């Protein structure tokens, strides 16, 4: 019996340790092809490249390709041109740092998985909530376990699983929980500096506390030591305003 086919990508770049950890874990259970950005593309969200050609360069150390541009470019090109057959699953990660709450909107890791779902391919995004000296062993085991579940039990059409793994050893993980996205907001801060010619430029930094967060949302449960699994949807329609929105709120055609 042939192994399932998995497309592996990320936004930290093809040389990232998290990608290699995911590959080593998944190769035990699937035929894995890597198509990942040549360089770091964190925060790329769903950016695609339109005005310059994409180049896919074969990898020496892994089966697959590196692509010069964004994670979504990688998935689009892989599905349309690079893979001889459609994958059974797309796995994006393992990201260095969490992708929970509002961070999912900026994440290239999550966007790559969403692009797969837009093409009717089941997809999982995996992130390790550890930026400094990350250890990917537990996250790799989680990646393999979730991938096997997603292969065995098909996800609903248009669904992406966003998985976040807490830092620490296996015995410190308290469990795995379904949860919703946190509504915690980043407290954006720009540090103003000047270059050697006196021209201003800015560095973005951001942090957010857990004040006011639902104790059952992804950020809170992740902080409490749980692996969090959040099912994301491609349909951004507001669930209460439509179809229950007041028709009287809409402008009449004679108003424009």
Tell me the DSSP string of 51-98. SS---EEE-SSSSEEEESS-HHHHHHHIIIII-SS--SEEEEEEEES-
Length of the chain: 256
What's the whole-number mean pLDDT along residues 234-251?
A: 84
Euclidean distance between CA atoms 95 and 101, whole angstroms:
15
Short-list 115, 96, 131, CA closest to 45: 115
Buried b (16+ CB within 10 A) or exposed e, 183-198: ebeeeeeeeeeeeeee
The domains found in the chain, sorted by start residue, are 5-184+214-234 (3.40.1210.10)
pLDDT surpassing 70 at residue 53: yes
pLDDT surpassing 70 at residue 208: no
Residue bearing tokens 């909530």: 129
- Which tokens belong to 243? 């179809």
Spatial strand order in the sheet of 5-9: 56-58, 64-67, 31-37, 5-9, 89-96, 123-128, 159-165, 226-233, 175-178
- Which tokens belong to 94? 């393992």
**What pLDDT was estimated at residue 239?**
83
What's the whole-number mean pLDDT along residues 211-222?
A: 86
211 pLDDT band (50/70/90 cuts)?
low
Q: Which of 32-36, 172-176, 214-218 has the lowest mean pLDDT?
A: 214-218
Q: Which one has a higher pLDDT value, 226 or 237?
A: 226
**What pLDDT was estimated at residue 68?**
94
Residue 99 exposure: Cα atoms within 13 Å on the Cβ side: 33
Provide the whole-model pTM: 0.93
Short-list 89, 87, 94, CA closest to 19: 94
Return the SS3 of 149: helix
Tens-place pLDDT, residues 79-127: 999 999 999 999 999 999 999 998 899 999 999 999 999 999 999 999 9
Residues 189, 205 contacting (CB under 8 angstroms): yes
What's the whole-number mean pLDDT along residues 31-37?
A: 99
Residue bearing tokens 């050609």: 53
pLDDT surpassing 80 at residue 207: no
**What pLDDT was estimated at residue 186?**
73
pLDDT surpassing 80 at residue 188: no
**What pLDDT was estimated at residue 250?**
86
**What pLDDT was estimated at residue 209?**
56
**What pLDDT was estimated at residue 213?**
74
Average per-residue pLDDT for the chain: 94
Which of the 8 DSSP states describes residue 102? T
Which of the 8 DSSP states describes residue 255? G
Q: Which one has a higher pLDDT value, 204 or 60?
A: 60
Query: Which residues have a Cβ under 8 Å from the Cβ of 172 and sit 6 or more positions away?
Result: 166, 225
**What pLDDT was estimated at residue 214?**
87
């Amino acid at each position: 019996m042939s192994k399932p086919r998995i497309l592996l990508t990320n936004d930290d770049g093809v040389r990232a340790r998290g990608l290699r950890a995911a590959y080593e874990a998944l190769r035990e259970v699937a035929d894995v092809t890597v198509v990942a950005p040549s360089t770091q593309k964190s925060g790329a969200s769903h950016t695609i490249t339109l005005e310059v050609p994409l180049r896919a360069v074969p990898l020496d150390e892994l089966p697959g390709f590196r692509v010069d541009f964004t994670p979504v470019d990688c998935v689009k090109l892989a599905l349309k041109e690079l893979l001889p057959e459609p994958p059974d699953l797309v796995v994006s990660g393992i990201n260095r740092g969490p992708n929970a709450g509002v961070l999912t909107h900026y994440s290239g890791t999550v966007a790559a998985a969403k692009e797969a779902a837009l093409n009717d391919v089941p997809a999982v995004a995996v992130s390790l909530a550890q930026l400094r000296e990350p250890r990917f062993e537990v996250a790799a085991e989680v990646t393999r376990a979730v991938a096997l579940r997603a292969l065995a039990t098909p996800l609903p059409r248009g669904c992406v699983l966003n998985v976040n793994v807490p830092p620490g050893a296996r015995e410190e993980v308290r469990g795995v929980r379904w949860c919703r996205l946190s509504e915690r907001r980043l407290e954006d801060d720009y540090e103003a500096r000047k270059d050697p010619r006196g021209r201003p430029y800015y560095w973005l930094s951001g942090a957010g506390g857990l004040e006011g967060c639902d104790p059952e949302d992804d950020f809170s449960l992740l902080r409490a030591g749980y692996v969090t699994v959040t099912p994301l949807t491609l349909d951004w329609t507001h669930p209460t305003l439509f179809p229950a929105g007041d028709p009287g709120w809409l402008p009449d055609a004679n108003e424009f």
